[in-house]
Structure 1
């Protein structure tokens, strides 16, 4: 992989084969992680309410 970066004069985008929807998939992954975190916080809140 490092050799591909060194040999490709167009930079890491072409060496790694960047796709046009790479940014969209990255933003969707971040959104999914945020939603999952909110669900975990809500579940912990519900457990805390039941425990009291």
Structure 2
């Protein structure tokens, strides 16, 4: 196995671990973005509710 620079990797397992770590970081980022969007939509809905009740 070789990295992006073409250097031979001494431990393929280490590369697999790095790839797994990157995937976990990306998943955490997506979860954070989804939670942020849900929070924003809940805030907007809560702000719109009083207008509908009037």
Whether TM-score is above 0.5 comes out as yes
- Please point out which of 10, 26, 33 is paired with 1:30: 26
Higher Rg: 2
Gaps spanning 5+ residues in structure 2: where?
49-54
Q: Does 1:39 align with 2:38?
A: no
Q: 1:25 to 1:50 in 2, by over 3 A?
A: same
Q: Which runs of 4+ in 1 moved over 3 A?
A: none
Q: 1:12 to 1:41 in 2, by over 3 A?
A: farther
Gaps spanning 5+ residues in structure 1: where?
none
What is the alpha-carbon root mean square deviation over aligned residues? 2.4
CA–CA distance in structure 2, aligned partners of residues 44 and 12 of structure 1? 46
Structure with bigger RCO (C-alpha 8 Å, 6+ apart)? 1
